[in-house]
Amino acid sequence: MIAHELQHFEEHSFSEASPKEKVFYLFMTDGDASSIKLGNSDLEHLVIDAFILRTEESSVLKNLQRSKPFKNIHYSKNLIDLIAAASIDLEGEREHIDEYIKEHSLKEAYIIYLALGIDIPYNIKIESDMDVLIKQLVMDGEFHNAANLFSKVLSHSDHIFDALILKKIYTLFLSIHPEAKSIQEYNDLRVTAKKVTSVLNGIIMLLLTVTVCWIAIRYIDWSISNAKLHDEMQKLLLQIFSVILIVAIFLGLNIPDKVKILNTVRIKILTFIYFLLGLRYSDVEKILHLSLNENKEKRRKSSHHLN
């Protein structure tokens, strides 16, 4: 599902973003922007004033506004710095915003719209799949090709700006699409089902562990009672070690995830128990625990994630 894939993409792109990009993203998504530490440059102080302190005046901005571009280097050429400046002094940055939008495509204009509420020009450039996605879903309200566009954009996006746009568009989709309620209910049900399955697996492993421990203790007690201790000590130590290993396997401590044969044994046991319950464990795992690589492949092949 798009929601599941979007969450993975959001987490990955945020981890790869710069501190200034993280502050901007948290500001745009009502997160705690103050949790990110920035440096002491003028532009970083501008970002702090705009997105963390949310001041109405900034001495740093006034100094920057008096500066002239040097070899095309200027705060108004950077999207985050420009939005930070406009958040404090919108009227003073109108000309810079108009120039920036003329030089860029719909993607950047949409971010400016989300941050500042400035209308998007009708004749804006459409250059990328993201531009097409914004044009069709946001501006034209056409959802017939939404799934395919989401998949195409997710398959080759890697920037925090893309995560911001996709999150906003998906929220918009859920709020106005006629099937949004059903989709949201399905997502909620899927999350709940995943939690139930995880708890059920834990209960099964716990019961098996208790059973194995009880059998092992009874066996060791029997061995001690029916043999001389000095003759059986070495064998007993081996038995204790074996019990500890078996218990670790059934407890599911990270060992099965790293040792293929142990993971195989664990899956076989769960498959058998689910069979006794009238369920197919492989089907449950396929639905609830798709890997990230499987999600990427599914994005390329399927156009039904939103339906």
Residue whose C-alpha is closest to residue 101's, from 131, 74, 121, 85: 121
Q: Are residues 224 and 232 in contact, defined by beta-carbon separation less than 8 angstroms?
A: yes
Domain positions in the chain are 2-177, 183-300
pLDDT tens digit sequence for 271-301: 777 777 777 777 666 655 543 344 444 444 4
* Residue 256 scores a pLDDT above 80: no
d(CA 218, CA 222) in angstroms, rounded, equals 6
Q: Are residues 2 and 306 in contact, defined by beta-carbon separation less than 8 angstroms?
A: yes
Q: How far is CA 249 from CA 210, 241, 245, 282, 295, in A?
A: 12, 12, 6, 20, 29
* Residue 147 scores a pLDDT above 90: no
Report the range of poorest mean pLDDT among 63-67, 159-163, 252-256, 292-296.
Answer: 292-296
Q: Are residues 96 and 85 in contact, defined by beta-carbon separation less than 8 angstroms?
A: yes
Report the b/e string of 248-262 with b at 16+ CB within 10 A. ebbbbeeebeeeeeb
Mean pLDDT in residue range 54-77? 91
* Residue 75: DSSP 8-state: G
Q: Are residues 144 and 306 in contact, defined by beta-carbon separation less than 8 angstroms?
A: no
DSSP SS3 for 70: strand
What is the model's pLDDT at position 22? Answer: 96
Counting residues of the chain whose pLDDT is more than 70, the rounded percentage is 65
* Residue 138 scores a pLDDT above 70: yes
pLDDT tens digit sequence for 179-224: 555 555 555 556 666 666 666 767 777 777 777 777 777 766 666 6
* Residue 235 scores a pLDDT above 70: no
What is the model's pLDDT at position 297? Answer: 45
What is the model's pLDDT at position 291? Answer: 38
Residue whose C-alpha is closest to residue 150's, from 25, 307, 305: 305
Q: What is the mean pLDDT of the chain?
A: 78
What is the model's pLDDT at position 238? Answer: 64
* Residue 307 scores a pLDDT above 50: no
